[in-house]
A and B are shown apart, each in its own frame.
Chain A
C-alpha cells in the first residue's frame, strides 16, 4: 500500500 506524499514535506516555507 502507498500513502500520498505532501508538497510541504519536500519544499520549505520561505
Chain B
C-alpha cells in the first residue's frame, strides 16, 4: 500500500501543467474537457473509454489532478504500445486515494 506511485515526480509535473492548461473548475476537469485531449492521442475510443474507467477512481465523471495523471500515464503507455490493464494495478493508484 505504501509502494511508490508509478507516476514519477517529473511526469507528474508535466501532467499537472497540462491539467492546469485545461482550466479546471474547483480542482476538477469535467469529461467534456478531458475527452478532446484523450481523443488527440488517436487511440481507439474503446481504449480511451477504459482509460477513463481506470482513472476516474471515484466515478464522479470528473478528474482531479491525480486522476488526470493516471489517465495521461495510461495514454502515454498505450502510445508506446503497452496494453491498458482491465483494472488499475495498486502501484498506479495515487497515494491520495489508497
Are the chains A and B members of one assembly?
no
Taking Cβ atoms with an 8 Å cutoff, the residues of A that contact B are none
Chain B residues close to A by CB (< 8 Å): none
